[in-house]
Structure 1
Amino acid sequence: MKNSTFLRPSLVVIGIASIRYDKRGIGESSIANLDESKLTFDDYVEDASNWVTFIKKDKRFSSISIAGHSEGSLIGMLASTKNVDKFISVSGAGEPIDQILKKQLTQLPEKLKTESYVIIDSLKNGNTVNNINPNLSALFRKSVQPYLISWIKYNPVNEINKLTIPFLVIQGDMDIQVDTDNAKNLSPKSAVIIKVMNHVLKNVTSKEDLSSYNNPELPINTELVEVISNFIFKK
């Protein structure tokens, strides 16, 4: 879960242990000569599932909950089908990534937007695209396209409805990256919308205020900690 470094101290105080790890290929989980073209979304799901298997063997823990933030929300859903007691989605998407990408790219110049949409539609159909405009290569370079294809096939709403365990959906109303409609898509009747919380789980007065993204001194939203802990401890 992203930002779990800030969440962990607050949970420890109330008796909730947590395991955090860098995503495969990043930070302490970096892999020498990693072939990006071989990386898939399911690899991340497998990594999360392997951690669950590891924790399950440790008798110190009475239950296991997965909390997935942003992209990790869908990863957490898919990894919560076995040996997991509860699932928590924080700032998670409530629609497939192809739809999200199209919304995020609406501000591009018309030509680039059209090219982007064509690429996205091709990836949704399982087909890679060879000729990529250099202005779009950061997002759609050939080596990352297999990953996007493996991600697009999942609809978060379908996946969360497959869960047979209790789940909680949390969303901040100051999130500029994922709006509250996503949370309501995932959990129409019980999504928890936290006021003044943004995508990095900090309190802000404006969605456009991105200073909190690079300010580790700002505390995490206290209501978030309370909502998560109440859900985990609820029998």
Structure 2
Amino acid sequence: MQKSMSNLSTSGNQQIILLLNSWHDILQDVFVFEESMRHLSLEQQARILKKKSHPDRCKALCNQLLQITGISMATGLPHTQLNFQYGVCGKPLVIDIDALTFSMSDGEHYVAQYIFKAKGYEVGIDLASTSDYCGDQDLNHFVEIFSLQEFKNLVQCPSSKKALLFTYIWSLKECYSKFTGLGLNSKLHNINFGKLDLFDTETTLKRRIDQKEMFFYSCWIAPGEVVTVCHESNPLLDQNPHVYYLTLQDVLSELQ
């Protein structure tokens, strides 16, 4: 992992991004897959097994493992004492724990969790990849998703940078939709991020959306894959999260 995970519950870090590589060769081993599943409830296992392909089942498994592991490490509570429920549109929530909220996202190579230690806040996270960009010739298919200004900037962007800009904008919009809990039910074209500049490693920005001043943090975690998180702006909380990279072995060790 990139940074030490020891004493995460008492470290004072208010904002944490956990990234778990979901491309694990060891999950091809039936025994390892089944042993990893045993850490989850029967209901969670059933949802995972409904996935049509084994790669999708592995990603869903990693998502659920990261969800319980991250909250356990952030609170210091055993994962067996955590109680989760889901919002109307499927957003996961942890109950009976004050001043902590989180959001989950699945990407091409990673699953991610954003943990936010503050009372009365909602958060969002999204992973996006340039592999989702279908090419300049099909850009018009997204005209109803982007605002007029965003779409104009995409059209005028050099072809060599267009996939990166598309991915960055998409992650911002999806992140905000996770914040609201509406997901793809959001009217994404009404969310206007205006003119955006590409960045090398990480960046932050603020935008007023639906009468709220929002803070966004974005970071390229792999070539062509970006993670974006957001929360309602507060001068005391508008800071770059601590980013940690985990392996499946890290997660399983925490759950033992």
TM-score by length of structure 2 reads 0.31
Structure ranking higher in strand proportion: 2
Relative contact order (alpha carbons < 8 A, sep ≥ 6): 1 or 2 greater? Answer: 2
Structure ranking higher in helix proportion: 1
